[in-house]
Chain A
Amino acid sequence: MSIGGPTEFEAVTAADGMNTDPSGDDAPADIQGRSLASIAWRRLRRDKVALAGGVVIVLFVLVAVFADLIAAVYGQNPDRQNNLGPTSPINDVTGLPNGAFGGISPEHILGVIPLSGQDLFINLVYGARTSLSVAITATALSLVLGVSLGLIAGYFRGWADTVISRTMDVLLSFPTLLFSIALIAVVSYINSDPAIRFYILVFVLGFFAFPYIGRIVRGQVLSLREKEFVEAARSLGAGNIRIMFREIAPNLFGPILVYTTLSIPNNMLGEAGLSFLGLGLVGTPSWGQLLSDANQYLQVDPFYLFLPGLAIFIAVLAFNLFGDGLRDALDPKSTR
């Protein structure tokens, strides 16, 4: 992937390559005044699938951000148990929801959870918040580590590169899942503060993923640092920091953006998986927890299993579709 490479708009400049008018007034009108970002955006706008993914992402984010508001309007909260009283949606004898599809009713639009009678919809809403907050924070962690270490390794090369690259190799061949399970178990045993669970989750998801973006950034920087515009800056007296952040880093925008949109769904899956194993957040609903709970009722209330699964599927798919579309839009060689 060579995002930001100087040849990416050869087609555009080839069109006016014969242009000998120094004022450049006859540059093609449709590209005038456009940054590369706006060209990418124009391409992205034509990609309906990616746009649909983008809309779903926005919806998920809105739901996660306004979960409290939704709960207030809807009149339910994730912890409230609705299994007592004459109007309870739960069957007193079996503990299963009354009615079809997990007890769908006007009060509980997606049904209720067996036994406790908690509202499933509002649990899914809060699950979105959990999923997104863990996934985004973990992605941010891997970005900070990956971009800064990749930049250092690619720019300075030499021993810094050796140390960083070998560390990344080691991390990539690390049995991450086993380590995460063990780490979370040990830390939860030592410290049962629910907040610490969040940090550990973010750490195991974000830290072990940073080599992926780190390698991409390193590779890009290795080629960018040889470009003549870097030499030009150096011949003007620019220092390393300035060259790294002003000249090179802006050219990493594309790969970083694509990585972000593809890493968030990965981390959502990771969070769901760890929650399923009982290693997720405590005291707040999450899709993985719901799945693992629903597993017990697979035979009698399959709808309960279906909904959190669907939520994960849609969210992950939306991010992936959007990320792929973004990659195509930023890719000079794509013809879309």
Chain B
Amino acid sequence: MTTTAPSSAAAQPATSSAPLLEVTDVQKWFPGRSKGLLSRTGNPVKAVDGVSFTVHEGETLGLVGESGCGKSTTGRVVSKLIEPTGGAIRFQGRDISGLSRRAMRPLRREVQMIFQDPYSSLNPRQTIGTIVGTPFRIQGQKPEGGVKKAVQGLMERVGLNPEHYNRYPHEFSGGQRQRIGIARALALRPKLIVCDEPVSALDVSVQAQVVNLLEDLQSEFGLAYVFIAHDLSVVRHISDRVAVMYLGKIMEITDRDSLYESPMHPYTHALLSAVPIPDPAVESRRERILLTGDLPSPSSPPSGCVFHTRCPKYRTELSDSQREHCRTTQPVLEEKRPGHQVYCHFPQVRTDLIDGQPGPVRTTGPKTA
């Protein structure tokens, strides 16, 4: 046993107490590129436009959406890598959105990040020992037994050979590199880790291992995750609740089972119908909802409901007056069923999209440290 005992909060996720993280109406508009010499700036890029969610201690929130919908930007705002242009981020009840770097510094320990690209997330000129030990040095912490011992303990905990302390990142495979990134994020014993597509760049076989590792660490250390992914199959396994994003907004947010078994938003329906089902008989019978058209530019989102330009329901099922409503009136993200918030004027529960089986099963047993 090389790691410290799990904190007492580890066992119970989602208690009724105040949330660990509370994101309220957060906005991140990037200044637009100037189009010509005369116009100084173009429309702002509304990468994130009014996103609200909460994450409780020990809980995993899945954040899903197509490429470019603002998932990474949301993650970066939450971990204070970039400043939001509006809204509030409360961590343990304290608004951190306006804090200076100096004031943020102690809070850095509590929120960490795991990145998508296992190649660019590790400095090629530093050894693994240096990379995983950096959090201690930056935060001026002296772990018991020294930095080296702590780093080797972390390496062992994430499934790396501690003797590889002096090796360089290029000597490791993608999955191992991701483990190095996880060890670094874990070093300061954070309460929340934002995982930005941590397995998207990995082979499928390795994906399951890394997801399992994250789950084991979660129960051991009582971590909360914001787990970003671009499809619904990866997050199903690990999430307690799932938020579906589209064009900088949350379309639907609810607990995992409701989302998969009774999704209400047409966009979620489309995403779910793309999740492969292991049983070929079911797979061939079920309806595949295809989205037509391209993702609109976040610098000039459609009027009314931002999804209406690609909404299958809008195209095929709604009457003219209903369409008019979709085009002109912004829906709000509101509770349509208990604990189930949807951004849609005409939500509809569908239960025919997924077979109710749990997500991918573990390929290995839990790690015992």
Which positions in A face B, CB cutoff 8 Å?
A: 4-10, 12-13, 16-20, 22-25, 27, 31-36, 227-229, 231-239, 242, 247, 250-251, 253
Q: Which residue of A lies closest to B162 (CB)?
A: A23
- Report Cα–Cα, A36/B181, bound state, in Å: 20
Which positions in B face A, CB cutoff 8 Å?
A: 76, 79-81, 101, 104-105, 108-109, 111-113, 115-117, 119-127, 131, 134-135, 138-139, 158-161, 164, 166-176, 179, 181, 184, 188, 203, 205-206, 209
| Interface pair B120/A229, CB less than 8 Å apart | yes
| Interface pair A12/B170, CB less than 8 Å apart | yes
17 contacts between A and B (CB under 8 A): A6-B117, A6-B122, A20-B203, A20-B206, A20-B209, A22-B158, A24-B161, A34-B171, A36-B170, A231-B76, A235-B108, A235-B113, A237-B139, A238-B138, A250-B123, A250-B125, A251-B123
Give the contacting residue for A24; candidates B115, B122, B127, B164; CB below 8 A: B164
Q: Which residue of B lies closest to A11 (CB)?
A: B170
Known: A10-B119, A20-B175, A250-B123. 19 other contacts (CB 8 A): A6-B169, A19-B175, A20-B205, A22-B179, A24-B173, A31-B171, A33-B171, A35-B127, A36-B124, A228-B117, A229-B121, A231-B121, A233-B138, A234-B81, A236-B138, A237-B139, A242-B138, A247-B123, A251-B124
- Report Cα–Cα, A134/B172, bound state, in Å: 44
Q: Which residue of B lies closest to A253 (CB)?
A: B125
Give the contacting residue for A237; candidates B138, B158, B159; CB below 8 A: B138
Given A24-B160, A33-B167, A251-B124, answer yes or no on A231-B113 (Cβ-Cβ < 8 Å): yes
Q: Quick one: which of B108, B123, B184 has the most chain A CB within 10 A?
A: B123
- Report Cα–Cα, A22/B124, bound state, in Å: 20
Q: List A contacts of B168 (CB < 8 A).
A: 34-36
- Report Cα–Cα, A250/B79, bound state, in Å: 26
Q: Quick one: which of B111, B119, B138, B173 has the most chain A CB within 10 A?
A: B173
Given A231-B81, A238-B138, answer yes or no on A22-B120 (Cβ-Cβ < 8 Å): no
Q: Which residue of A lies closest to B115 (CB)?
A: A228
| Interface pair A236/B125, CB less than 8 Å apart | no
Q: Which residue of B lies closest to A35 (CB)?
A: B168
The 4 closest A-B pairs by CB, nearest first: A22-B159, A9-B170, A237-B108, A250-B125
- Report Cα–Cα, A228/B205, bound state, in Å: 24
| Interface pair A232/B124, CB less than 8 Å apart | no
Given A22-B179, A229-B122, A251-B125, answer yes or no on A236-B170 (Cβ-Cβ < 8 Å): no
| Interface pair B138/A18, CB less than 8 Å apart | no
- Report Cα–Cα, A250/B158, bound state, in Å: 27
| Interface pair A17/B174, CB less than 8 Å apart | yes
| Interface pair B125/A24, CB less than 8 Å apart | no
| Interface pair A32/B161, CB less than 8 Å apart | no
Q: List B contacts of A18 (CB < 8 A).
A: 173, 203
B14 CB → nearest A CB, Å: 25
B185 CB → nearest A CB, Å: 8
Q: List A contacts of B184 (CB < 8 A).
A: 232
Count A/B pairs, Cβ under 8 Å.
131
- Report Cα–Cα, A9/B123, bound state, in Å: 13
Q: List B contacts of A234 (CB < 8 A).
A: 81
Q: List A contacts of B115 (CB < 8 A).
A: 228, 231-232
Q: List A contacts of B174 (CB < 8 A).
A: 13, 17
Give the contacting residue for A250; candidates B104, B105, B109, B126; CB below 8 A: B126
Q: List A contacts of B123 (CB < 8 A).
A: 227, 229, 247, 250-251
A155 CB → nearest B CB, Å: 15
B215 CB → nearest A CB, Å: 15
Give the contacting residue for A13; candidates B81, B101, B173; CB below 8 A: B173
Q: Which residue of A lies closest to B136 (CB)?
A: A236
B256 CB → nearest A CB, Å: 27
Q: List B contacts of A36 (CB < 8 A).
A: 124-125, 168, 170
B349 CB → nearest A CB, Å: 39
- Report Cα–Cα, A227/B181, bound state, in Å: 14
- Report Cα–Cα, A33/B113, bound state, in Å: 28
| Interface pair B124/A32, CB less than 8 Å apart | no
A163 CB → nearest B CB, Å: 20
Give the contacting residue for B113; candidates A17, A22, A23, A232; CB below 8 A: A232
Give the contacting residue for A8; candidates B124, B166, B175, B181; CB below 8 A: B124
- Report Cα–Cα, A242/B138, bound state, in Å: 9
| Interface pair A6/B119, CB less than 8 Å apart | yes
- Report Cα–Cα, A70/B110, bound state, in Å: 65
Q: List A contacts of B113 (CB < 8 A).
A: 231-232, 235
- Report Cα–Cα, A5/B169, bound state, in Å: 12
| Interface pair B172/A24, CB less than 8 Å apart | yes
A151 CB → nearest B CB, Å: 15
- Report Cα–Cα, A232/B164, bound state, in Å: 21
| Interface pair B124/A235, CB less than 8 Å apart | no
- Report Cα–Cα, A317/B108, bound state, in Å: 53
Give the contacting residue for B171; candidates A23, A32, A228; CB below 8 A: A32
Q: List B contacts of A6 (CB < 8 A).
A: 117, 119-120, 122, 124, 169-170
Q: Which residue of B lies closest to A247 (CB)?
A: B123
- Report Cα–Cα, A24/B97, bound state, in Å: 40
Q: List A contacts of B181 (CB < 8 A).
A: 232
| Interface pair A16/B121, CB less than 8 Å apart | no
- Report Cα–Cα, A27/B171, bound state, in Å: 7
- Report Cα–Cα, A35/B173, bound state, in Å: 16
Q: List A contacts of B205 (CB < 8 A).
A: 20
| Interface pair A16/B138, CB less than 8 Å apart | no
Q: Which residue of A lies closest to B161 (CB)?
A: A23
| Interface pair A25/B161, CB less than 8 Å apart | yes
Given A6-B119, A17-B203, A24-B176, answer yes or no on A235-B80 (Cβ-Cβ < 8 Å): yes
- Report Cα–Cα, A41/B79, bound state, in Å: 40
- Report Cα–Cα, A242/B123, bound state, in Å: 14
| Interface pair B81/A235, CB less than 8 Å apart | yes
Q: List A contacts of B131 (CB < 8 A).
A: 229
- Report Cα–Cα, A86/B123, bound state, in Å: 71
- Report Cα–Cα, A250/B139, bound state, in Å: 21
Q: List B contacts of A253 (CB < 8 A).
A: 125
Q: List A contacts of B105 (CB < 8 A).
A: 237
Q: List B contacts of A227 (CB < 8 A).
A: 120-121, 123
- Report Cα–Cα, A228/B168, bound state, in Å: 17
Q: List B contacts of A237 (CB < 8 A).
A: 101, 104-105, 108-109, 138-139
A246 CB → nearest B CB, Å: 8
| Interface pair B125/A239, CB less than 8 Å apart | no
